[in-house]
Structure 1
């Protein structure tokens, strides 16, 4: 599978699915274990290659067992016994490198397991925290849920999840964190009765905080411009107790497919406007131009802030994909600018750590609409969130940057831009 992912540059989830279909004899435990090995190897692909002196999938896997799972050479050797289905025994060189090779002289992109071309952007965003942040991005992500305030309080649902050792998230007031297993996976919360009854949604704490910092108010007209599956739409509805007029849409109608069932389950109220495709395509928000109080732009981006969850994505990233995303961000921000009324606000959110998608995108909007918009100071934006976040988060000229090392979340950027005229 590692060979397939590398050669075909395809998502790991697709490769794992195809392997499972072709090997139906493998039980769910085997599939979960294999998936864990694949994702761990992708998380540490560069550093594992460095210590093993080879980029071959076997070498990457061996190195990842040491770096990601902390196995000693003797333990790895026992797994590579050559018996039955086990891989061939370690060579003398493999064992020596496992025992002696280090990352002391490795460049940051190797020690931090990140694409080399993205390092200047990452360094500009993370500064002295560059290596700690990259190492945090290479670890397994936690399993977070957001308790649906439309159904009840966090304290109300905690007893039902006691068997999973659910504990409050460090910052988000409605978040719970569930420990993951040794295989890197959490429990199947989507089959629990409380989930089916809409008591909670699976959502990273950073995403929860982004919706909170949007500061939606009852009585407002709010557009979720890039709603996708509806995670932040539901959070906005809960935050306003269904007291706002909430409109959700997305440029790709396929991404909206899950939102209808999620709205039904949660009790959230939103008007979903699905654009048509082809020649009949029309602007489904035209009637709202200049009339919206708050526009949430959860912009399409490279997803560099989610590398903990999608480690394969960082190795598929290329300079041209960054250029494509920044062009899309320009387009969607300009659409938001036409929607928002004087005195209204644009809340710009990405799950990225790259300034080209964050600070530069906001600066571009300010330049194109000179005199019409101004950034809300980050300290003022943070006032809508918990006090603990204010001391943990990294603030920038235009916005707020959450990150695994500093806030324990995925990498989320939030900027709020107010329209003057």
Structure 2
């Protein structure tokens, strides 16, 4: 496909996303199925256009003077395709399958700089109704944090130390520019693709088939490491999902002790079995999804209960940019109730002297530090552990500074730490 035709195709997909309120991934997949002639490079370029437009939806709409599908895609095109504004104007030649010529207003919008006095939610590309939460979370840094959440994310991998070393995996993936992560001692990072380039399919690599690594954001790796899953412990991964944290625990525990992987949804747990086999993880017991009675039978048993709580997903907006525009106050309110419910469940599973680790992929205080305060007020036997001390003990290095400004919980963000937005709080059960 010619570049102009790719822009036009992206407009069609974005129209589907906006008018039918569909996830971008679904709209892109449907477009691909109905346009079989488009190659993998075409589909990747169209996806870059759509996702970059969604990442910077507010700022592009302001520059272009419109939030229509056409305006958003045209406004995203220079950066998304790695070309100049003049190139985009030239590509819009109205030829067959290509985008029609740009109006004078559209051409002017491509070169319009953002004003210094714009509201934070426009410059930072986050929903206006979340302005208060961003201000509470980041203060004067709200725009910078929003901008970081609106950039493409790198591809992070966790080395499976049951089968490989970081040096071994780095060598296997050196053709992709792989480098060691700054904070996780078992992490590898492949830089985000620029312009119209696509991210490599590392799961097609022989090294992945051998179980040498798993795709996992560095922030998620750090949450698993901070949990302190040592050999011979009894561990419950309460919201296990596809099993990424359970796999990390198995490696940290050197295949000793026992990890129980539980989730309320069967579809979430289904991928875990193949992943466990590939990774060589032998100490993970997958519980029947939704078996609350079986879970209750294990009360007061666990040295460590890991709660990767359901949340807004605001920390993952780099990877799922359409999610931030679908998020609503009602969604957040529902997640807050879910978090309280799962925390109540987790409290019963921790044995005296054990610990619970509460984690979200969110940057919203009401889902993070405020939930921890609520929980501790409801359960006097639990006390927060200073994450700085725990970091030094578990990772053997100096801990990064949390964006919360305290040591009760660690808030990781793309702007400050280069990770997805993750909140990690470690709670000790004293009685």
Between the aligned partners of 2:277 and 2:265, the Cα distance in structure 1 is 21
What is the SS of the residue equivalent to 2:428?
Answer: strand
Structure 1 position 306, deviation (Å): 0.4
Deviates more, 1:388-397 or 1:137-146: 388-397
1:259 counterpart residue number: 272
Between the aligned partners of 2:297 and 2:72, the Cα distance in structure 1 is 54
What is the SS of the residue equivalent to 2:353?
Answer: strand
Between the aligned partners of 1:153 and 1:237, the Cα distance in structure 2 is 15
The alignment's TM-score, normalised by the length of structure 1, stands at 0.95
Unaligned runs of 5+ in 2: 1-12
What is the SS of the residue equivalent to 1:347?
Answer: strand
Between the aligned partners of 2:350 and 2:69, the Cα distance in structure 1 is 50
What is the SS of the residue equivalent to 1:387?
Answer: coil
Deviation digits for residues 281-328 of structure 1 (CA, Å, limit 9, x no counterpart): 642212210111100000111110000000000000000000010100
Q: Mapping of 1:13-412 within 5 angstroms?
A: 13-66=25-78, 71-182=83-194, 183=196, 185-269=198-282, 270-276=284-290, 282-369=292-379, 371-383=380-392, 384-385=394-395, 387=397, 389-391=399-401, 395-396=405-406, 398-412=408-422
Structure 1 position 375, deviation (Å): 0.7
Deviation digits for residues 69-114 of structure 1 (CA, Å, limit 9, x no counterpart): 6643312202212122220111112112323353323211111110
Unaligned runs of 5+ in 1: none
Kindly report the root-mean-square deviation, in angstroms, between the aligned alpha carbons of the 2 structures: 1.7
2:424 counterpart residue number: 414
Between the aligned partners of 2:271 and 2:403, the Cα distance in structure 1 is 31
> In the superposition, relative to structure 1, how do residues 368 and 58 fare at CA in structure 2: closer, same or farther (>3 Å)?
same
Between the aligned partners of 1:265 and 1:116, the Cα distance in structure 2 is 44
Deviation digits for residues 227-251 of structure 1 (CA, Å, limit 9, x no counterpart): 0000111011111111231100111
Asked whether the equivalents of residues 55 and 150 of structure 2 are also in contact (C-alpha less than 8 Å), the reply is yes
Between the aligned partners of 1:185 and 1:332, the Cα distance in structure 2 is 38
What is the SS of the residue equivalent to 2:248?
Answer: helix
What is the SS of the residue equivalent to 1:390?
Answer: coil
Between the aligned partners of 1:70 and 1:137, the Cα distance in structure 2 is 20
Aligned residues: 416
Between the aligned partners of 2:219 and 2:122, the Cα distance in structure 1 is 26
The alignment's TM-score, normalised by the length of structure 2, stands at 0.93
Structure 1 position 125, deviation (Å): 1.3
